[in-house]
Structure 1
Amino acid sequence: MKTAILIVLIIFSSLSSGKKFRWCTLSDLEQRKCAELAKALTAVLPLATATSFARISCIRAHNTYDCIDKIRANKADAASLDAGDVYSAVKLYGLAVVAKEIYDEGNCVFAVAVAKRGTLDIQRLRGVRSCHNGARWTSGWNIPFGFLLARNDLSWDEAQPLSQAISEYFNASCIPGVGVAAPRLCALCQGQKSYVRDKNHFCETSSNEPFYDSEGAFRCLKEGVADVAFLDHLRILSATESEEQEYELLCPDGSTAELSEYSTCNLGKGPGRGIVTRNNFHKITNKFLSMIQRLFGRKGKERARFELFTSAPFGGKNLLFRDATQHLQLLEEQLEIAYVLGLDYVALLKGLGHEGSSLENSVVRWCCISDAELHKCEEWALSIKSDPLVCVQATSMTKCIEMIKSSEADAVTLDATHVYIAGRCGLVPVAAECYGGDCAQAAEIMEKTGKLIHVKHKALPPVYAVALAKKSAKQINIHNLKGRRSCHSHLYSPAGWLLLSRHTVGALGNDTQNCDIGSAYQNYFWKGCMPGADGNMCKVCIGDSEVEGARVSSRCAAGHNEHYYGNMGALRCLVGNPSGRSFGDVAFLEHSNLLQNIEDLDSSGWAKGYTALDFELLCPDGTRAAVTEWPGCHLGPIPPSTVMTRPVTVTKIYDFLMQSQESLGSKLDSEFQLFQSWKFGGSDLLFKDATQYLVPASHLSYQEILGDSFIQLAESVFNCTPAGILDFCKQDICASSSN
């Protein structure tokens, strides 16, 4: 009790004399619960009798946006809002988020689609009647429409409002709060209509609209008004036995599932509700919430008198806070909204136009990792006749992944290991590179029919990882590489880092010393060049100049500014720089373009006189073979490089790539060619030069593109080897349920 009184004294010393803390409510039932909270607070505070002020004042608002306006105008102090409205309150109206509701599975909710048993599946939503918990809300709008856009089920020309595209998709809907621009999206709502603002409750975000919130969306379905309801899993947690028997979830794969299976059958996961206030009121609101939670929360000392997260005594559900709330997580001041709601969620909201239409929505921002890539990208931008292309520069492929996740870039081509990392970070495939084999056939079919084809990943010819040594270094074989100088295309590269582990550090046994293959390579090789790494594995690197010490910042950089980066770079490293210094004993690279790259050594003036006969492959059995014998002498197959993006931008990037490919692919009469890099002084810029065609891959998961064997190896390595980018992605609030 002493603690409670002390907290209260702190609160009231913070509030200027005579001020009440004003909570914004959305219904008569919330008013009742709020008034009871005020009474309970007065009852447990001995100071209460001496003052003529209530500790809490309950401010009745018309709807959620009226609450936001009242808080902005200093007519109310705080309200609990859906995460979609929290974002708008912060980004568009200048409010601050002070706390998040935490449920059994953290702050996040699963967005689910519910229908009557046997009536519907997720692939037959077009033309049905729908009810949604709220416009621009996490589980009723943002995640479902992000999901439908990612699958290209919902067509949206970003020049029009998203609400218009949704109107054309569903037959009729009730989406409370959608506004007057799309009347069909309110057609099923049942709130009272009136020309008098305070009496008009039709399609509004308050409980005066019977189909408002997840409770209302489910009610709309149960009353037979709609065929499908989009809501959060917290509503179905409290489903009755008869509801469980009568209704089912619609799963992304077209199947259906029991209501209880929401964790495996949902459209995605996003943040739950948050509490907003004015920026200058953050500290006071924080202390106020801390006080009422300690008194009346789940473990509150006065919960016998009043329960903060229970609504049943007041004849309603989810009053003031969601009933499923376990506790409120208080947030620091001036915390970036992306770290409150999650990077993926904020990127989704931007993609759905929550901040209005912007230049960002109309352009494709391609991520480049070197000056040469930037130059090629700018030429690409000047050559295309489709969506505008903007070229953004990053320091590495991992930085590109971070920028795409943070909505600072839109797309990048990644090698197989980075595809795995990007997939773990929530990015998805758009198109895969195809190198020979079925590509010509695929291109021919597309040219003849004009139709996009879907080639299964198994039909995509792989690239092979190879180990290369000079023919003159007879003593070197795959089994005696320890202590030698090594050349690797880059950190995390499939050939020079991941698959190589099986034949070097991974072959030494499973002791903990060799578990982290990054540090194991440092000890295994004497020194080397693995761009993007550090320590011994940078000592052979030379940066972007033949003069040692110049442009130190580019030395060992994870991009083409390091001359020893990539497949061509590893080959250069093997022969040494033009002065014949800084070379390795063995190079780990991919077989594609190997013969062409050896030719380029001479034609580019890098190293004169080399031919394919001057090199040999190191085979896994300890023998050596000619460079042309890679089909029988390699370290393993590598899945194709793949263009990755955020789910909500898949269709835009896909359309852009297919238009670019059609006009700029490998046509000899085109001044700019997508899959050639020699003109820009490099190799494999933006795409591999060996690419014949980009094959649509948005219908595949990253796991399907990579295949089981590659995924298993990547998982076993990254379970033990730290990677900063994976730690960055794990920070996302919905990445796990242990928030």
Structure 2
Amino acid sequence: MKVTAFLLLLLLMKMMMLVLLSTGKKFRWCTLSDGEQRKCSELSRALLAALPPATLHALARVACIRAHNTYDCMEKIRANKADAASLDAGDVYSAVRLYGLRVVAKEIYGEGHCVFAVAAARRRSLDIHRLRGTRSCHGAAKWTSGWSIPLGFLLVTNNLLWGEDQPLSHAIGGYFNASCIPGVGITAPPQLCALCQGQKSYFRDKNHFCETGGGEPFFSSEGAFSGVADVAFLDHLAVLNATESEREEFELLCPDGSTASLTAYATCNLGRGPGRAVVTRPNFQAVARKFLTLIQFASPAPPLSWVSPLWREGQEKGRFALFASDPFRGKNLLFHDATTRLQVLDEDAEISCVLGLDYLALLQGLGHEGSSLSNSLVRWCCISDAELRKCEEWALSVRWDPLVCIQADSMVGCITMIKKNEADAVTLDATHAYFAERCGLVPVAAECYGEECGPTQREEGTEQPTNATALPPLYAIAVVKKASKPISIFSLRGKRSCHSHEYSPGGWLLLSQYTVGGLENDSVHCSLTSAYQGFFWKGCMPGTGAGGNLCKVCLGQKEAEGGKTSSRCAANHNERYYGNLGALRCLFGDPSGRSFGDVAFLEHHNLLQNIEYLESSGWAAEWGPGHLELLCPDGSRAPVTSWRACHLGHIPPGVIATRPMAATKVHHFLAKAQEPSASSAFQLFQSQRYGESDLLFRDATRHLILTGHLGFKALLGEPFLRLAESVFGCTPAGILDFCEQDPCREPTWP
């Protein structure tokens, strides 16, 4: 049965080849070395041997087009002088964005299509955080493992300083004493090619010095590993087959400053990024996909060394190994030798899906396409019209780095925009900070509330907490009207509820422990929001969708014309019942006395000020703190001023999040933003003049504490993280699904 299936597959492949070659046109593969030329020529002979003699007139052969370097390959493919080539992911990005090419397939290795970027050095010689003044070898400029990920690591950890007024290559030239970075360009400092050993010549075709081609001995990860430098930046595939003597002589440099053996690349690496992929012209994609499908053999259980069945019957001994280079006296010729198969992509495959959003953002942050205006400004994400107005006033008051205000429809929307490099920073509550951590973002600052904060330390870096417990906490509270019929924490089922928004730490996450309890993964309704839908009669939980009973009490926002409402149940301030102030509005009901709740779940901060504001603004006339009470965990009730003793739990502080590559920029911006300015009347932590509260930051914030390299896990604390992990192990969240689609996650560096 298996033999029959194999013969049918082989027959199908031959038929595809006939269709492919019916035009009589050769498939032109771009090569970068003499070894690749030899392997390419053998591939052409193997294709001829795989077809019956009657079809030889169809010119069933591959043409091998020699290029000077990788960029010459891209130009030849664009100019219809070659058809395809397999390139490093960094060059793939350039091919798509600068040369208009398309990705048709990606190489798959034993651990997927991604590679670990590692730093190798001789044993007991170096620390990854003390490389200044050393000699370095890199596979190639703008390559994933030799350039993008290691430089991103050095920048994020502030080991390498890059001024806005200088090219990145000049910053590298001032950091390393001497290097070999093939393809770095003629305008780069000469020390970046000082260690290279390729042939020099005034004739372009004979000059291989510091070029991305086979004529430069130290080109590629394998070349960097064999170089004469103190440290080599390469992908883990280059050390997979290290000799015993190499394993004894070299070690990996880990992000925490320690070292590990060459075999520990999965735990000791600088990050993970996409590997190589095949590119072609847009109008040649269909032919290229058929060709790539044909030349590789596909089976349900692929062997470690993938072999193409390009031979005729009786010629098995001379079969052609598509992903092997030893017979041609080289390594990684045409394809990487570690490739197990080629994954042929759909025609509409986007570059973001192939390379991943984190990797694209990293390349853009490194100026892969040249200088960008977005690299010199901070794009703050706003979630409502009121936040946008406040942000625009903030931008007008800024006298340092430019500030641009970007609008999304929710905190989840802001996380998405930051991940896609469409925005740079946003303030998140603790639950959304958990999302941000899962999405590969990093914290740069935390809000500090109340009298406990005291005057801020103006010197940068002098106030850095060790964890969330070092910051004054927020309290989750449940507020009811004092005159309402008896309500306790144990009698909330069937009541009308007011929540600041879906996913809010106090009104959604912590509340579950007092209402719906824990959810089981095999539950019919494996969703905390769905459980609340069945627990409460109706209410307003902005963000849950206008069709549910937890949106029935919501108001939306009045429009200027016709008195119509919009943004009903939206997860932003455009819904008047959104946030802590909105939950109080919901408890009191609208000024007409309708659309109200029995209980409001919110945070304690600014509670008295918000009550006073609603009373003075006419929303809740004749309602004061004395008319409200808190629900306590033991079933009792207490005055609204007793939140320290009567609350539903501690909430970690709000966190400002960004991408790793933007952390330094946002860090400096926020440090300057808190410096006193006599010329500006703008108040960063006041929002009531805009008709809302907690816009951009919580109004209770005294100042922002810059967190340095403190991660989300330390800021959120172990108890909160355990609860979040438990809930989202069952409750679906679209933002987590979105972030988990990224093929290679950005590392969380220390």
1:252 is aligned to 2:255: yes
Matches within 5 A, 1:182-331: 182=188, 183-220=190-227, 225-294=228-297, 298=306, 300-302=308-310, 304=316, 305-331=319-345
1:379 maps to which of 366, 390, 393: 393
For structure 1, which segment, 263-272 or 366-375, has the greater mean C-alpha deviation from structure 2 after superposition?
A: 263-272
- TM-score calculated relative to the size of structure 2: 0.93
Displacement of 1:13 = 3.0
| Structure in which a larger fraction of residues adopt helix | 1
Give the conservation status (yes or no) of the 8 Å contact 2:140–2:212.
yes
One-letter amino acid matched to 1:199: K
| CA–CA distance in structure 2, aligned partners of residues 163 and 179 of structure 1 | 9
| CA–CA distance in structure 2, aligned partners of residues 514 and 483 of structure 1 | 18
1:687 is aligned to 2:690: no
2:574 maps to which of 531, 536, 561: 561
1:430 is aligned to 2:444: yes
**Matched pairs, number:** 726
**Structure-2 change in CA distance of 1:552 and 1:300 (3 Å):** farther
Q: Does the residue aligned with 2:730 lie in a helix, a strand or coil?
A: coil
**Structure-2 change in CA distance of 1:127 and 1:654 (3 Å):** same
Displacement of 1:195 = 0.9
| CA–CA distance in structure 1, aligned partners of residues 191 and 519 of structure 2 | 66
One-letter amino acid matched to 1:499: L
1:724 is aligned to 2:727: no
Provide the residue aligned with 2:32 in structure 1. Answer: 26
1:177 maps to which of 180, 183, 187: 183
| CA–CA distance in structure 2, aligned partners of residues 548 and 496 of structure 1 | 33
Provide the residue aligned with 1:536 in structure 2. Answer: 549
Displacement of 1:510 = 8.3
Per-residue CA distance 1:207-264 (angstroms, 9 max, x = gap):
21111111011101xxxx2111111111111122222222111111111122222111
Q: Does the residue aligned with 2:744 lie in a helix, a strand or coil?
A: coil
Give the conservation status (yes or no) of the 8 Å contact 1:570–1:588.
yes
Per-residue CA distance 1:480-526 (angstroms, 9 max, x = gap):
10110100000111011111111111168887246421110100111
Give the conservation status (yes or no) of the 8 Å contact 1:190–1:209.
yes
Displacement of 1:611 = 1.4
Q: Does the residue aligned with 1:51 lie in a helix, a strand or coil?
A: helix
| CA–CA distance in structure 1, aligned partners of residues 241 and 521 of structure 2 | 48
**Structure-2 change in CA distance of 1:483 and 1:169 (3 Å):** same
Per-residue CA distance 1:440-494 (angstroms, 9 max, x = gap):
24x1x32xx5665323233211111111111112510111101101000001110
- TM-score calculated relative to the size of structure 1: 0.95
One-letter amino acid matched to 1:294: F
Per-residue CA distance 1:132-161 (angstroms, 9 max, x = gap):
111001111111111122222221123321
Provide the residue aligned with 1:109 in structure 2. Answer: 115
Provide the residue aligned with 2:23 in structure 1. Answer: 17
Matches within 5 A, 1:52-201: 53=59, 55-182=61-188, 183-201=190-208
1:705 maps to which of 707, 712, 715: 715
One-letter amino acid matched to 2:124: G
Give the conservation status (yes or no) of the 8 Å contact 2:138–2:146.
yes
One-letter amino acid matched to 1:699: H
Per-residue CA distance 1:406-442 (angstroms, 9 max, x = gap):
111111100000000011001110111111355324x
Unaligned runs of 5+ in 2: 1-6, 300-304
Provide the residue aligned with 1:605 in structure 2. Answer: 618
Provide the residue aligned with 1:353 in structure 2. Answer: 367
Provide the residue aligned with 2:488 in structure 1. Answer: 477
| CA–CA distance in structure 1, aligned partners of residues 322 and 260 of structure 2 | 33
One-letter amino acid matched to 1:193: K
**Structure-2 change in CA distance of 1:48 and 1:419 (3 Å):** farther
Provide the residue aligned with 2:635 in structure 1. Answer: 622
| CA–CA distance in structure 2, aligned partners of residues 475 and 312 of structure 1 | 82
One-letter amino acid matched to 2:409: T
Q: Does the residue aligned with 2:296 lie in a helix, a strand or coil?
A: helix
Per-residue CA distance 1:61-118 (angstroms, 9 max, x = gap):
1111111111111111100000000000000111111100011111111111111111
Per-residue CA distance 1:21-61 (angstroms, 9 max, x = gap):
01111111111111111111111111476327351011111
**Structure-2 change in CA distance of 1:607 and 1:423 (3 Å):** same
Matches within 5 A, 1:390-429: 390-429=404-443
One-letter amino acid matched to 2:70: T
| CA–CA distance in structure 1, aligned partners of residues 345 and 30 of structure 2 | 20
| CA–CA distance in structure 1, aligned partners of residues 718 and 744 of structure 2 | 25
For structure 1, which segment, 564-573 or 231-240, has the greater mean C-alpha deviation from structure 2 after superposition?
A: 231-240
Q: Percent identity?
A: 66
Per-residue CA distance 1:353-376 (angstroms, 9 max, x = gap):
111112222221111000000000
**Structure-2 change in CA distance of 1:552 and 1:14 (3 Å):** farther
**Structure-2 change in CA distance of 1:5 and 1:525 (3 Å):** same
1:36 maps to which of 38, 42, 46: 42
Provide the residue aligned with 1:714 in structure 2. Answer: 724
One-letter amino acid matched to 1:348: L
Give the aligned CA root-mean-square deviation in angstroms. 2.1
One-letter amino acid matched to 1:512: S
Give the conservation status (yes or no) of the 8 Å contact 2:499–2:602.
yes
1:652 is aligned to 2:665: yes
Give the conservation status (yes or no) of the 8 Å contact 2:464–2:708.
no
**Structure-2 change in CA distance of 1:611 and 1:2 (3 Å):** closer
Unaligned runs of 5+ in 1: none
Provide the residue aligned with 1:497 in structure 2. Answer: 508
Provide the residue aligned with 1:574 in structure 2. Answer: 587
Per-residue CA distance 1:606-647 (angstroms, 9 max, x = gap):
111121111111111111111111111111111111110111
| CA–CA distance in structure 2, aligned partners of residues 713 and 548 of structure 1 | 45
| CA–CA distance in structure 2, aligned partners of residues 733 and 48 of structure 1 | 45
One-letter amino acid matched to 2:378: V
Give the conservation status (yes or no) of the 8 Å contact 2:519–2:527.
no
| CA–CA distance in structure 1, aligned partners of residues 561 and 538 of structure 2 | 17
One-letter amino acid matched to 2:542: P
| CA–CA distance in structure 1, aligned partners of residues 694 and 214 of structure 2 | 58
Q: Does the residue aligned with 2:705 lie in a helix, a strand or coil?
A: strand
| CA–CA distance in structure 2, aligned partners of residues 380 and 129 of structure 1 | 45
Provide the residue aligned with 1:332 in structure 2. Answer: 346
| CA–CA distance in structure 2, aligned partners of residues 153 and 48 of structure 1 | 64
Provide the residue aligned with 1:519 in structure 2. Answer: 530
Give the conservation status (yes or no) of the 8 Å contact 1:367–1:400.
yes
Give the conservation status (yes or no) of the 8 Å contact 1:123–1:254.
yes
